[in-house]
A and B are shown apart, each in its own frame.
Chain A
């Protein structure tokens, strides 16, 4: 894992104007991953989009943490179903 791909959680709190508690809560819910290096917490930039999505839903639709957890679960399911659908659609082509 490249150091430059890791963004300190503190920096994220400043940029998004959020409490550190929100990041910790997302981590505890398994929605985002946190990497700890020398007692400093980081979010990998690949997970930033997930974090931003949850933050938008929290702020813009007033969804609380329990709701975010449920949404995250359902979004993962939608993604999986969409991927399955794509594969099945391609598979159907062989019979046409």
Chain B
């Protein structure tokens, strides 16, 4: 656990007045407020840091403790004892009046440094930051393999100690976020529950490339097959299929197997297409016989 320089975080120096702290905090809050930086985890982390810095530096008692023992936080207990001798009033309650910012995210993550120095109950309190009625929205990331989202499957995910069983619709896309209504935090004073947002991180464990409901596969064919045509075996998601290669097939040419692609998201029994892209293999090591034959072909103008 490292020391956190709250002054540096708020970009102020140690002589900053309470008004300076407030001004600096508000300036940074306008920049990093989570509501102004959707899906930006770095901004959210920064916002939490500046919130924490503000929590400490805007509270005279916390600031005093931090200034005296900040770098030497392990000995902060000494300060605590000295303080107790001076006054019998318990706890750092002053922070409760300070104005803090919220944002609909889990703001219960002050640093270990803060917790160690001021204790878990020292903060102004996330629950009454801003007014809340609707429960907090939760964000979760779910990693699945491509082969797992080929069919709608039931998954059990564990969130905050609770198991949620849900059906992931076939064809969900990488990076896609779905909303599970009512599976967020509980509503406050009869308010509706928050929602759960799940973002899918889909790892491709197949040899195919995918875009939405279409699949792509590159198949190598010999020069003679490309020129004369022929039959090849192609692997699709549902097994091997025989495919006729047209005579005169070009390198990079593609054929479409209609309906052999990936399931369409939330469209039952509808599938995308499977594209085969031909890669014509140019022979590198020719035998004497082959060389002769190519010479013959050359004479014909090929």
- A93 pairs with B38, CB closer than 8 A: no
- A17 pairs with B131, CB closer than 8 A: yes
Tell me, yes or no, whether B212 is within 8 Å of chain A by CB. yes
How many Å from the CB of B25 to the closest CB on chain A? 11
- B131 pairs with A15, CB closer than 8 A: yes
Measured in the bound complex, the distance between the Cα atoms of B176 and A82 in whole Å is 11
Tell me, yes or no, whether A71 is within 8 Å of chain B by CB. yes
Task: Using C-beta atoms within 8 Å of the partner chain, give the interface range for chain A.
Answer: 20 to 34
- B38 pairs with A78, CB closer than 8 A: yes
- A82 pairs with B38, CB closer than 8 A: yes
- A56 pairs with B133, CB closer than 8 A: no
Tell me, yes or no, whether A38 is within 8 Å of chain B by CB. no
Tell me, yes or no, whether A55 is within 8 Å of chain B by CB. yes
How many Å from the CB of A57 to the closest CB on chain B? 6
Selected contact of B174 from candidates A59, A75, A90, CB within 8 Å: A90
Q: Select the stretch in B96-104, B109-117, B155-163, B241-249 that faces chain A.
A: B96-104
- A90 pairs with B35, CB closer than 8 A: no
Tell me, yes or no, whether B126 is within 8 Å of chain A by CB. no
Taking CB atoms and an 8 Å cut-off, the chain A residues in 52-75 that contact chain B are 52-53, 55-57, 59-61, 71, 75
Tell me, yes or no, whether A91 is within 8 Å of chain B by CB. yes
Taking CB atoms and an 8 Å cut-off, the chain A residues in 1-36 that contact chain B are 5, 7, 12, 15-17
Measured in the bound complex, the distance between the Cα atoms of B175 and A38 in whole Å is 42
- B134 pairs with A56, CB closer than 8 A: no
Measured in the bound complex, the distance between the Cα atoms of B104 and A41 in whole Å is 25
- B131 pairs with A49, CB closer than 8 A: no
| Known contacts A16-B133, A57-B33; A94/B175 CB under 8 A | no
Selected contact of B191 from candidates A15, A55, A56, A82, CB within 8 Å: A15
Selected contact of A52 from candidates B26, B101, B134, CB within 8 Å: B134
- B130 pairs with A90, CB closer than 8 A: no
Which B residues touch A39, using CB under 8 A?
A: none
Name the residue on A nearest B189 (C-beta).
A15
Which A residues touch B131, using CB under 8 A?
A: 15-17, 55
| Known contacts A90-B211, A93-B210; A56/B35 CB under 8 A | yes
Measured in the bound complex, the distance between the Cα atoms of B182 and A45 in whole Å is 10
Which residues of B are interface residues toward A (Cβ below 8 A)?
26, 29-30, 33, 35-36, 38-39, 101-104, 130-134, 137, 173-176, 188-189, 191-192, 195, 204, 209-212, 216
29 residue pairs from A and B, CB less than 8 Å apart: A5-B192, A12-B133, A15-B189, A16-B133, A17-B131, A48-B133, A49-B137, A49-B195, A52-B132, A52-B133, A53-B35, A56-B104, A56-B130, A59-B130, A60-B29, A60-B101, A60-B130, A61-B33, A71-B36, A75-B36, A75-B38, A86-B174, A86-B175, A90-B173, A90-B175, A90-B211, A93-B204, A93-B210, A94-B216
Which residues of A are interface residues toward B (Cβ below 8 A)?
5, 7, 12, 15-17, 45, 48-49, 52-53, 55-57, 59-61, 71, 75, 78-79, 82, 86-87, 89-91, 93-94, 96
* Across the A-B interface, the 7 shortest Cβ-Cβ residue pairs: A15-B133, A86-B175, A94-B209, A45-B192, A60-B101, A16-B131, A48-B134
